[in-house]
Structure 1
Amino acid sequence: MVAERIVEIFEQAGVTGCLHVVDLDEVGGGAGSGEPGGGREVALRADEQVVIASIFKVLLVLEFARQVVAGQLDPRERVLVTAADRLGGWGIAGCADDAEVSLRDLAYFAMSVSDNTAADLLLRRVGADVLPMLAAELGLPRTRIVGGPRQLVETMLADVGARTEADFARIFPTLPPERIRAMRMFDPAHTTSSTAREITRLLGLIWRDEAGPPEACGMVRGWMARQLFWTRLASGFPPGVRVAGKTGTLPGLHLEAGVVEHPDGGRYAVAVFVRARQLATRRIDVDLAMGQAARTAVEALRAG
C-alpha cells in the first residue's frame, strides 16, 4: 500500500521513479561484506540501474576525507582556480576572476551547492581511478563511476556536435526531445550510475562510521548537512527533523539521496530518483513530490 501511494504521488507530478528508504539502525552488513542488510524498508524499483549525476560526489568527498585522515592529503592545500578550470553550474563556476581555495573548501562547495568545478578539481587531486575501487570496497557492485564533471561535459559536447560550451548552449535548445534522451548522459550503461538500494547502503555505511575512519565519515555527514537546496527531500519534513542530502540534476532527471534524522533518534536513509516527461531542470512541483514521497515512506517505517 505504501508503494502504491508513492506511485500515485509520482503520477500526480507527471514523473516515474525509483525509491528506497531504510531504517539505518536495523541494517546489517558492514563495509565490504556485500550483504544488503536486513532493516525495514520501503522499496519501489530500488534495484533498477539509474543515472545518479552529482550524487557521485558523496563518494568523491568520502574518498577525500579518508585520504585526509590517513595523512595522504592536507585539507589546507591551496588550489588556484582559473578560467580554464571552470565548468558550468553553481559556485566557483560562476566566478569572473581567478580564485584560490583550499582542498577542504572544494569539498564544501562540491556538496553544499553541487559545484562541478570544485568537484572536478578535487577529483584530480584524489584520483579518479580510486573511486571505482572505493565502491567495490564498500560492497557497491552496481555503482559505476565514469569520470567526473569534465568527462560528462565532454560527452555532452560530443553527442550534440558542439566544440565549446557556447556552441552547446546554442545547439541544445534546438534539439527534439528524442534526440536529447538518446544522449549518453541519460544512459546508465554509458555514464555514472547506481541503484537506489546501493546509494542508501552507502549512506548507511557513512552514518554508522563503517565507510572509513569515524572522523572521515563525520566530515562527509557535516558537508551533506550543509547542502543549500531544500526543495526536494527536506521539503517533506517538519521543523525539528534534520535532513542531510545530496542532489543530482540533469534535464528531466531529479535526484536526491540523504539521511532523515528525527528528534527521537530515528535515522532513515532515503534515495528518490525520478524522471519527468518534460526536460526542464527546475520543477518545484516535482521537487515537492519527491519530499512527499520520502516522508510517506519514512512515516510508514516509523508506524511499523
Structure 2
Amino acid sequence: TGPLGLGRFRHPATVAVDDLLYLAMCVSDNVAADILFGLTPPARVTDTLREHDIHGIAVRHIVRDLNQTPAERLAPDETHLAHTLAIQAASAGRGHRIPQLDVTRANSGSARAHVDLLQAIWRPTTIHPDTAARLRSLMADNVIRHRLAPEFSTDASTWSSKTGSVLNHRHEVGVVEHRGGEAYAIAALTASSVPARHQPAAEALIGRVARSLRDHLRAS
C-alpha cells in the first residue's frame, strides 16, 4: 500500500480463479467449471466434502463428461428423443442406461446432503469464514433465476442458489434469508416424466412446491 497503491491489486492468478468461480457459479459456464476441476480434481472435491463432514455427495466427473449425453448427438428438434430415453431407461435399482444418470457411476447427491452443505456454508464451523462468505456472495449473484427465485425473491428476503440440469433432471439448491433473521435451506431435485426440453410450467411448479414447504415450516 505504498505511494502507487499497489496493495489494491490482487495477484493475476487470484483474479483469474475468482473470475472462473464467478463464471461457473453465477452463469453456469461449464468450461470455467472444468478449468477449476483441472486445479482441484473431482476426487479431491469429494475428499474435501468428507473432511468437512458432508456426506452423500459424490463428485466423480468433470462437467464435460456429464454433458456427453444422447442429447448432444441429436439435432435441437430431436432433443425430445433423448429425454424419452432418459425417462424410460431407468432401472429398478439405482442404475441407468445413460451413464450420466446412473447414480452409482455419475456425480450424485441427495437433497439432505445438499442441505447439509448449505448449512455448512451459511453457518460455517470447519469451513473458513472468508471462503463461506465468498460462496454466499456468488450464490446471491446467480443469474439463473427462473426456477425457485420467483417464489423467494422479495423486498424482505434474499435468495441465493445454484441450479443444475441434465436431460430431464432439473435441480436447484439455495437459501432464502428473511429480513427478520430467519433462513431456510432448500434443495429441489426433480426428474420430469415429460419428454420435452422446455417446460416452463414444470419450472414454476418446482418453485411453488418449494415455497409451500417453506411456508409450512414458518407456520409450525
- TM class, shorter-length: 0.7 to 0.9
Greater RCO, 1 or 2 (C-alpha within 8 Å, sep 6+): 1
Q: 1:253 aligns with which of 162, 165, 169?
A: 169
The equivalent residue for 2:12 is: 76
How far apart in 1 are the matches of 2:24 and 2:11? 14
In 1, are the aligned partners of 2:139 and 2:162 still within 8 Å (CA)?
Answer: yes
2:53 alignment partner, one of 130, 139, 144: 139
Which portions of structure 1, spanning 4 or more consecutive aligned residues, are displaced by more than 4 angstroms?
A: 174-178
Residue aligning to 2:108? 193
SS of 1:239's partner is: coil
Letter in 2 for 1:214: P
Conserved in 2, the CA contact under 8 Å of 1:224 and 1:244?
yes
Q: Distance in 2 between matches of 1:205 and 1:185?
A: 27
Report % sequence identity: 28
Q: Give the equivalent residue in structure 1 for 2:123.
A: 208
Given candidates 217, 225, 232, the residue that maps to 2:132 is: 217
Quick one: which amino acid aligns to residue 129 of structure 1?
A
TM-score by length of 2: 0.82
Q: In structure 2, do the counterparts of structure 1 residues 119 and 303 end up closer, same or farther at CA, with 3 Å as the change threshold?
A: same
Cα distance in 2 between the residues matched to 1:273 and 1:260? 17
**CA offset at residue 169 of structure 1?**
3.5
Partner secondary structure for residue 165 of structure 2: strand
Q: Paired residues, what number?
A: 200
Change (3 A) 1:107 1:236: same
Counterparts of 1:74-153 in structure 2, within 5 Å, are: 76-77=12-13, 102-153=16-67
Provide Cα deviations, 1:118-162, integer angstroms capped at 9, x if missing partner: 0000110123331110121122332111121122245x3xxx5x9
Structure 2, unaligned runs of 5 or more: 1-9, 90-96
Amino acid at match of 1:125: L
Q: Distance in 2 between matches of 1:215 and 1:144?
A: 24
Deviation at 1:282, TM superposition (A): 2.6
Cα 1:137–1:279 shift into 2, 3 Å: farther
Check conservation: 2:80, 2:195, Cα contact below 8 A.
no
Matches within 5 A, 1:1-304: 76-77=12-13, 102-154=16-68, 156=69, 168-170=73-75, 173=79, 175=81, 179-180=85-86, 181=89, 182-237=97-152, 239-240=154-155, 241-304=157-220
TM-score of the aligned structures, taking structure 1 as reference length: 0.60
